[in-house]
Chain A
């Protein structure tokens, strides 16, 4: 656990990191980024918390069980969205043109509309959930199972 200054700054900064990560995930179909990148941003914020606070402090609020459920949910949503397009092909964009994320943008450069993309925004969310849960579990495992116990013993 680091000094009180570092802990306070990390406490204030984590909000902005989480919002930026969510922005990168949510706008994956309009701007550079997507599920993998935004998930990595969020996990970098969690690593900042891990550095500022001790790993035991963090493991009180982030449970490994919840992380494993989150990752499985993300994987299941992703695969189901892939299989749902199976009427045409695997990973067919069946939502393009439908009421859900279905607006079709004009061809050529245009400012973009959030409500476009078909299956791509839901897939970004699923992959983001998966990356956040997976990397978070890895980081917490590295911090808890290796460093924490040696200090105790």
Chain B
């Protein structure tokens, strides 16, 4: 039963992926770029910032940067948890 369910879900996933690949725009024809044009035109005025990339990363998409910082925090926590050997040593000795 589980194998059948797994096979069905795999087939559905593959179908979605193939459909997505077939529905891509032809190479070299970008999607409509209204958002890009808006940001390029208004970023300096709205954020007072010459570096448009920085204004996208920290202002328009600040939430995304918050996620990145959280990823860094989680990675550091994981490394320190995995590599911490002091407690284990105290118990064994």
Interface residues, chain A, CB within 8 Å of chain B?
A: 28-32, 34, 36, 71, 75, 78-79, 82, 90-91, 93, 96-97, 101-108, 110, 112, 116-120, 123-124, 127, 130-131, 134-135, 137-138, 141-142, 145-146, 149
Q: Are A34 and B79 in contact (CB under 8 A)?
A: no
Q: How far is the CA of A22 from the CA of B49 in the complex (A)?
A: 19
Given A124-B54, A137-B76, A138-B76: A96 touches B66 (CB 8 Å cut-off): no
> CB within 8 Å of A: which of B15-66?
41, 44-51, 53-55, 57-59, 62-63, 65-66
Chain B's closest residue to A108 (CB) is B44
Q: How far is the CA of A71 from the CA of B75 in the complex (A)?
A: 13
Q: How far is the CA of A86 from the CA of B66 in the complex (A)?
A: 15
Closest 9 pairs between A and B when the two form their complex, measured CB to CB:
A91-B62, A96-B48, A134-B76, A145-B83, A104-B48, A117-B49, A112-B50, A120-B58, A123-B58
Chain B's closest residue to A107 (CB) is B44
Q: How far is the CA of A82 from the CA of B85 in the complex (A)?
A: 36
Given A28-B54, A75-B69, A120-B54: A102 touches B62 (CB 8 Å cut-off): no
Given A75-B73, A134-B76: A29 touches B50 (CB 8 Å cut-off): yes
Q: Are B51 and A29 in contact (CB under 8 A)?
A: yes
Question: What band does the interface of chain B fall in when counting residues whose beta carbon is under 8 Å from A?
Answer: 20 to 34
Given A137-B76, A138-B79: A90 touches B63 (CB 8 Å cut-off): yes
Q: Are B46 and A93 in contact (CB under 8 A)?
A: yes
B72 at the interface (CB under 8 A from A): yes
Q: A105-B48, A118-B49, A120-B58 are in contact. List 10 more A-B contacts (CB 8 A).
A: A29-B55, A82-B66, A93-B46, A93-B55, A108-B44, A110-B50, A119-B58, A130-B72, A137-B80, A142-B83
Contact of A93 (CB < 8 Å), options: B47, B65, B79: B47
In the assembled complex, the CB of A91 is this many whole angstroms from the nearest CB of chain B, namely 3
B91 at the interface (CB under 8 A from A): no
Hey, which chain A residues are within 8 Å of B79, CB to CB? 137-138, 141-142
